[in-house]
Structure 1
Amino acid sequence: MTVTIQDVLDKLLQPVRGLPLKVDRLISGQADASVTGIVTTFMATNNVISKSAACGANLIITHEGPFYNHLGQIDLLQDNGVYLEKQKLIEESGVAIFRFHDGIHRYQPDGIMTGLLRSLGWEQYVNQHRMAATTLTIPTMTFWQVVQALKEKLRVPFLRAAGDLSMKCSRVGLLVGYRGSGELTIPLFEKEDVDLIIAGEGPEWEAPEYVRDAVNQGQQKGLIMLGHQQSEEPGMRYLADTLSRMFPDVPVYFLGDSPCFHVV
């Protein structure tokens, strides 16, 4: 039975039907085209687009937009060489690209969070899923041990951490993507009495500086910034598994790219 791009999008959006989704849309391709294969990814980079075409997939479901800003505004890129070259690659490869950002975050629970919890093996430790964060009680370990566990389970070469690495941790606040702001993290420290917050990214002068002052005052608080990509890729890997069950006759792949940043 032929599966169209619209069939896939209808399945993805069914759990959030009727909710406002600001940036989720088909960026390239035609909704009535038959699907030969599906790729899920955090970011539709040049590498991911080329690899998708090479494996015969003509639908990329990307969490973040391919053109370097959240709202997908391309007015300022019309004469930009990098944008034009990428647009040419998309056209020549014949892939359709669907941005799936707000929708998966509005799954109950958040689909990106679900993927991260699964990758960490922490599903059984969840206390509460909130709109932007999940609180957990993990087996007590040192801050340093948590760092090493994250690096191993998420296969990341480095993390950024603030706080005393020898402190004991059990109460954890977990936030994916760009949710590491002081506005979201500080209430978790204060009202939920978490020892450690693990986030994707956020302003460096908000939560990290709060932790610095807290530690200087003798409090046991810690913060880990995974990186935006590293915190959300597991959710898109989880989505690939979900789509494989929905469409068992369609090849489905998760494709990632190498970390954007390097320690130099």
Structure 2
Amino acid sequence: MNLSAQHNTSLTIGELIDYLTSRGPAVSPTVDKLLYGEPDTTITSVAVTFLATQSVIKQAAELGANLIISHEHPYYNHNGMQHEQWKEDAVAQNKHLSIMESGIAIFRYHDHCHREQIDLITDGLVRQLEWEPYMEQRLPAASIAVLPSMSAADIAEHIKHTLRIPYVRLIGDPSQACSRVAITVGYRGGGNVVLPLLREQRVQLVIAGEGPEWEAPEYVRDAREQGLDYSMIMLGHAESEAPGMRYIAQLLAEQFPHIAVHTLIDKPLYAIL
């Protein structure tokens, strides 16, 4: 596709998908696909989101968007509920009907953005945290930053302020001085990702989205009992990946300035009681 020619012409859903999936290496197999809509439809405006929730679908319709780019599948697991499952589930059926009534297309954009030379989702989080000047190394599943030394509590406050989120969860001592930090997103907070970062990359603090609580968090607890200064901050899955989708929306707005691009982020999933 001649991208320069797209700046002054209409753009179809298929052309936008081709752009997104051709930026980096080919990915196969992949969950990235058009879940609703037709590729030859001309785009009016685009809504970019972490997840096409019921609220996001309503907001997109009110904005006049006819395409949602959703990082996660709208039907409650990585590969989506199978038709045989959701056709008898009232919540899934109602959501399906609302999507059909809206006429909005939905493209799942998950694998390709994670597989670019620099993971766009992690990079979006790094950028929103304003930590680009401190980046030392970018690994496939994490980025390593060397920050000016500050306490874990101060880092947590910085995260809440820059991401505009109400809370994070800390495993460790809030007063611990931290400098060498690993940033990872989504479901990469499990032991298979976190433990090598602590052991081999010698980080003091891992910032993650989510993961099984009995894996890396319990490892950190035992390590601290043994005298090692390890800590973790858990952001939440959506909170860790929404900045990456916001960054992707920015890239699309720059590449296709004639198309309105909106970032839609639903309110936090959990409330602290």
Give the TM bin, normalised by the shorter chain. over 0.9
- Superposition deviation, residue 126 in structure 1: 0.9
Q: Structure 1 residue 234 and structure 2 residue 239: aligned? A: no
- Superposition deviation, residue 171 in structure 1: 0.4
* Cα distance between partner residues in 1 of 2:94 and 2:80: 17
Instruction: Report the RMSD for the aligned CA atoms in angstroms.
Output: 0.9
The alignment partner of 1:70 has SS state of coil
After the TM superposition, which residues 50-129 of structure 1 pair with which residues of structure 2 at under 5 Å, given as runs? Answer: 50-74=58-82, 75-129=84-138
* Cα distance between partner residues in 2 of 1:149 and 1:28: 38
* Cα distance between partner residues in 1 of 2:120 and 2:162: 18
Name 2:35's counterpart in structure 1.
Answer: 27
Pick aligned residue for 2:143 from 134, 137, 146: 134
- Range 11-20 or range 54-63, more displaced: 11-20
| TM-score normalized with structure 1 length | 0.98
Asked if structure 2 preserves the Cα contact closer than 8 Å seen for 1:141 and 1:168, the reply is yes
After the TM superposition, which residues 43-54 of structure 1 pair with which residues of structure 2 at under 5 Å, given as runs? Answer: 43-54=51-62
Task: Specify the code of the residue in structure 1 equivalent to 2:48.
Answer: T
- Gapped runs of 5+ residues in structure 2? 1-8
Asked if structure 1 preserves the Cα contact closer than 8 Å seen for 2:35 and 2:105, the reply is yes
- Give CA-to-partner distance per residue, 1:166-193, whole Å, 9 cap, x none: 1100000111000001111111111111
- Superposition deviation, residue 19 in structure 1: 2.2
* Cα distance between partner residues in 1 of 2:184 and 2:190: 10
Q: Structure 1 residue 246 and structure 2 residue 255: aligned? A: yes
Q: Structure 1 residue 216 and structure 2 residue 216: aligned? A: no
| TM-score normalized with structure 2 length | 0.95
Name 1:180's counterpart in structure 2.
Answer: 189
The alignment partner of 1:16 has SS state of coil
- Give CA-to-partner distance per residue, 1:102-161, whole Å, 9 cap, x none: 011011100001110110000111111111111110111011101111111111111111
Asked if structure 1 preserves the Cα contact closer than 8 Å seen for 2:134 and 2:145, the reply is yes
* Cα distance between partner residues in 2 of 1:250 and 1:135: 35
Task: Specify the code of the residue in structure 2 equivalent to 1:183.
Answer: N
* Cα distance between partner residues in 2 of 1:199 and 1:21: 26
* Cα distance between partner residues in 2 of 1:227 and 1:18: 29
The alignment partner of 2:43 has SS state of coil
The alignment partner of 2:40 has SS state of coil
Task: Specify the code of the residue in structure 2 equivalent to 1:153.
Answer: T
Name 2:4's counterpart in structure 1.
Answer: none
Asked if structure 1 preserves the Cα contact closer than 8 Å seen for 2:67 and 2:104, the reply is yes
Asked if structure 1 preserves the Cα contact closer than 8 Å seen for 2:66 and 2:104, the reply is yes
- Superposition deviation, residue 16 in structure 1: 3.0
